[in-house]
Structure formats: C-alpha cells, structure tokens
Structure 1
C-alpha cells in the first residue's frame, strides 16, 4: 500500500497532531487509538499510514521537523538554506544547547521509546535526522572532540530529563547547566 498521499496533507497533519496529543495525554499508540484520537476511521487513518511503523515514523518526522525549524532559527549568521552539516560544529552545538535549554519537552518527545518492536527503526530515523546537527567532524583533535561530545551529552541529558519528567530542573538550573555546556564548546552565551 502506497503512503505517498501528498494531495491530502491537512488530513495527514491533523492525524499526526491528534496522535501526538493522545500520546502527550498518556495514551498508548495503536492504529485504532490513533484513529479514535484523530476522529477518523481506522481505514481512513490507514489511507495515510498503512502500518503502525509508518504512523510512528511519520510522527517522529513530524516532531523532528518542528525541532529543526527552531534549531535553524538559532544558527546565528548562517544562511537559512545552508546545509546544516556544512555549518561549523560549534555553531551547530551552540544552537542545540540553546534549543534544549529554552524549549519545553514532554513524553511526546520520547516517541522513539513508545514501542519496543519499533525502537530500532525509530532510533535509526531519529539518528539520521539529528546527526547533521550533532556530528563532530572526523579529525577533530581528541581533547576538543571530548569537550564537544561532553557538551552534547549534557544537552541530551537535559532534554531526556525534562521529556521523561523524572527530575525536571527549574528553568534557571537548566540554563546554568546549558551555560557549562556552552563553556565546553567555547561559545559562552
């Protein structure tokens, strides 16, 4: 079954938005629950997403596209159409740290962990989308590589902490940790 349904983007987008809201509200995702949340029939949902994996992958892309718009706005002095991978690593990581520190997250952001059977494919897709933002170039001196990686992992931890709701930090503490990460990058705020 083909899932290229570009002629009905509003239905597709509204289904994804309703599915994300259902997940945010503590619901689990199945084709049935997503259809109910979107107010469509299961066959109506399957017109756009033939399998749960297609639905979850599209939901991940829906979230990532929103993230990337916000991340791109943070690339100071960079052409908005520039290939992200061509932007200096410090500029990319600074944008990532700032984005993590200034954005709110919830359980919906953990979409890659919602179904153990899909975790591998969703994690692979997540990595593909984030790699251009987070990749540290080959040949970066070891000490600098370690600092850049530590800054990225600090931001990852802030993101996961807030999205999971385990021990969320007040905004000021979150920003303070982000400032330490920026110091490691060599790009103080």
Structure 2
C-alpha cells in the first residue's frame, strides 16, 4: 500500500486536476480547497498566493523530470527506446501523475502569465534532448528523436482504441519506429 499523500500534495493534485480539466480560471482557491477536502484557510497556509500554487506545480514537475531522466539514463534498452516508448500518454492524463503535471504546467504556460512554467517546459525538453544527444551522438538525429517523441505525445490517433488495432499492433508500430531511429543513429 502506498503512503497517503500529504495535505499539501492533495492540494497540488487538486490544482493540477482543475487546471487540466477546466482551465486555470476554474482553479480558484475555493475550488482547489473543496477538491482537496481542506478549508480555504488550510490551502492559504500552504499556498498563500496563486504564484505559490503555480510554483508548487512547477517544482513538482522538476522533481518528476529528475526521476524520469534517471529512468531514461538507466533504461535497459537505452535512452531512445525509453523516450519513445513513454511518449504515448495514457488515455486518461489524470491517471499518470507525470503526464498530468506536464499538462497542467503546459496550460499554465500557455496563459502567458507564468514565465516560470514556460521555463520549466523548456528545461524539461532540453534535459531530454541532452540525454538523447548523449545516446545517439549526432545533434540532427537527436532532434529527429525529439520530434518523433513530440509527434507521438501530441499527435492524434495514437491509441489502439482510436485506430481499431489491438495493443500488439500498436507495440509493433512503436518497435518499428524505434528500429528506424536506431538505424538513423547508426548511420545506416
């Protein structure tokens, strides 16, 4: 059994979920407090301003990126394989804390009000790119891998349910993409 999240973590979870589901404007202090099951005063104790809530989510993203970079650099099949395989988000973003956090920070960044959110996303992409570059050794190939990852993550119709294909067909597709990227990295 995993440990129960702290009240502070529940507040951040609630803020993220509201931003993802309904947009930043809907994530008021009252709505976040209600969703987290705490009083507004309790929320304000931990997050005395809107900026503090945003900073909490951005700091959470930084920690999650650190964990992801570690998994990427220690993946048994290599960084590129890991990066591409994890580029298809789950069908429901709320089920993946990392994807939910990325999506929430992306929504905050798109508002133009939170430069730190923009910096966090830029930093995340730069760190992934550095690991891929180290793995493939060629800046152009590293860029192609990053673009393929972005296409898988943001592209429509990547889930097996949307295409009518089963999980084995989708896996074969990812396997084929990874094989092409390996050949590209090997110069073939």
Alignment check: 8 A CA contact 1:154 1:181 kept:
no
Q: Does 1:176 align with 2:177?
A: no
Deviation at 1:152, TM superposition (A): 1.0
CA distance in 2, matches of 1:56, 1:178: 37
SS of the residue 2:142 aligns to: helix
C-alpha change, 1:43 and 1:97, in structure 2 (3 Å) is: same
Describe the shift of the 1:61–1:160 C-alpha distance in structure 2 as closer, same or farther (beyond 3 A).
farther
In terms of mean alpha carbon deviation, does 58-67 or 124-133 score higher?
A: 58-67
Cα distance in 1, alignment partners of residues 121 and 55 from structure 2: 9
Q: Aligned partners of 2:51, 2:16: CA distance in 1, in Å?
A: 15
Could you tell me which residue of structure 1 aligns to residue 54 of structure 2? 56
Other structure's SS at 2:27 match: coil
Aligned to 1:22: 18
What residue number does 1:39 align with? 37
Which structure 2 residue ranges, 5 or more long, are not aligned? Answer: 95-99, 161-168
Kindly indicate whether residue 108 of structure 2 is the aligned counterpart of residue 110 of structure 1.
no
Contact map agreement 2:11 2:43 (CA 8 A) in 1: yes
Task: Quote the Cα distance in structure 2 between the aligned partners of 1:40 and 1:178.
Answer: 46
Match 1:128 to one of 111, 117, 123 = 123
Larger displacement relative to structure 2 (90-99 or 33-42)? 90-99
**CA offset at residue 122 of structure 1?**
0.1
CA shift for structure 1 position 114? 2.4
The TM-score, its normalising length taken from structure 1, stands at: 0.63
Q: How many residues align?
A: 160
Q: TM-score, normalised by structure 2?
A: 0.63
Distance change >3 Å, CA 183–CA 117, structure 1 → 2: same
| Structure 1, unaligned runs of 5 or more | 1-8, 78-89, 162-166
C-alpha separation between the residues in 2 aligned to 1:46 and 1:185? 50
Distance 2:92 2:67 in 1: 16
Q: 1:52 to 1:92 in 2, by over 3 A?
A: farther
User: Over the residues paired in the alignment, what is the CA RMSD in angstroms?
Assistant: 3.6
Q: Which structure 2 residues correspond to residues 135-154 of structure 1 after superposition, within 5 A?
A: 135=130, 144-154=138-148
- Distance in 2 separating the partners of 1:35 and 1:102: 28
Q: Could you say what secondary structure the match of 1:118 adopts?
A: coil
